[in-house]
């Protein structure tokens, strides 16, 4: 399996990957690939920070568009407001 894309890491941390074959392949790759494990941790931190900002600070998620969140992020952020 190729490295996990940033988009798929975001989808994973947002709970948007729920089909077992895709979920298992992603988790197995992250377990054996140090590079993707680091990126997965960074993505989790990013997801947590943006969620906290939305909840606590009534954060305008559109500001974050300049730092690279994917379309899935915008949909999730909109759903939380
Ligand atoms: Zn990898």
Q: How far is the CA of 56 from the centre of ligand 1 (A)?
A: 33
Does 64 map to a domain? yes
Q: What region does 60 belong to: left with phi over 0, alpha with psi -120 to 50, or beta?
A: beta
Q: pLDDT of the chain along its 81 residues, tens only?
A: 699 999 999 999 999 999 999 999 999 999 999 999 999 999 999 998 888 887 777 655 555 555 545 556 556 665 654
Does 24 map to a domain? yes
Residue ranges near ligand 1 (ion) with Cβ within 5 Å: 3, 33, 36
Domain enclosing residue 20, as ranges: 6-80
Q: How far is the CA of 2 from the centre of ligand 1 (A)?
A: 6
CB-CB contact of 50 with 61 (8 Å)? yes
Q: How far is the CA of 57 from the centre of ligand 1 (A)?
A: 34
| Alpha helices, DSSP H, located in the chain | 6-13, 20-32, 34-57, 71-80
pTM of the model: 0.66
Only one residue has tokens 């954060």, namely 59
- Rounded Cα–Cα distance for residues 37 and 19 (Å): 20
Does 72 map to a domain? yes
Does 1 map to a domain? no
């Amino acid at each position: 399996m190729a490295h996990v894309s940033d988009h798929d890491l975001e989808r994973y941390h947002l709970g948007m990957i729920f089909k077992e074959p895709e979920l298992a392949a992603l988790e197995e790759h992250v377990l054996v690939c140090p590079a993707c494990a680091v990126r997965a941790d960074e993505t989790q931190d990013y997801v947590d920070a943006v969620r906290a900002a939305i909840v606590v600070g009534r954060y305008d998620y559109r500001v974050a568009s300049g730092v690279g969140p994917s379309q899935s992020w915008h949909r999730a952020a909109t759903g939380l407001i």
